[in-house]
A and B are shown apart, each in its own frame.
Chain A
């Protein structure tokens, strides 16, 4: 299994809603990532978990809250988002998180904030 699975594929939420994005991998990878991608732009790193510990937080606003319940699962909790947060949110995983590794991406959650 070389897949990274993300749910939901699409999400529309209001600015007062609370929602969660989910990501799962069964490749035995110990590093998992959240990226944000705006249209026609490269992905921007948000968070990295390595061995279930948060190792990188790219100064992301607190309305985004990551959680790594175990080495296979990664969540992104969303609360009080702004319309400018509308984007494609990509989850990725890699072997250890050593920074030189191949990344395996999910197909993303397309988020629209109204």
Chain B
């Protein structure tokens, strides 16, 4: 089945760009997702990319997909204190066709003043 890996922690200065990386194993994954979780809250769908795309941009967010390396990244431009959260990469378990989404362990983004 699908396995999703991401680094656990990232520290970035306010105003700089943040890049959060993720790798996955199932090459048949159709959609790949980024969810954001702020303290004490549920997960919020931040953005997603379809597997036939290489890049998707949405305001300050840029998603890059390298299908050959099964690598997904989320870039946040001009990082602000409100971006401090845990970011989960997620992919459907298409190989097993069991209608599940597999989450990575989450990357905690810490903003330095």
Beyond A42-B104, A97-B99, is A106–B92 a contact (Cβ under 8 Å)?
Answer: no
B24 CB within 8 Å of chain A: no
Beyond A56-B98, A99-B93, is A42–B42 a contact (Cβ under 8 Å)?
Answer: no
Beyond A90-B43, A107-B42, is A100–B94 a contact (Cβ under 8 Å)?
Answer: yes
Q: How many residues of chain A have a CB within 8 Å of chain B?
A: 25
**Contact A100 B42, beta carbon cutoff 8 Å:** no
**Contact A99 B98, beta carbon cutoff 8 Å:** yes
Q: How many residues of chain B have a CB within 8 Å of chain A?
A: 25
**Contact A107 B99, beta carbon cutoff 8 Å:** no
B105 CB within 8 Å of chain A: yes
**Contact A106 B42, beta carbon cutoff 8 Å:** yes
| B residues in contact with A97, CB < 8 Å | 99
Residues of A within 8 A of B (CB): 4, 6, 40-43, 45, 48, 50, 55-56, 90, 92, 97-100, 102-108, 110
Residues of B within 8 A of A (CB): 30-31, 33, 35, 40-45, 48, 88, 92-94, 97-101, 103-106, 108
A/B interface sample: 15 pairs, CB < 8 A: A6-B42, A41-B105, A42-B103, A42-B105, A43-B103, A50-B99, A56-B99, A90-B42, A97-B99, A98-B99, A99-B98, A100-B92, A103-B43, A105-B35, A105-B42
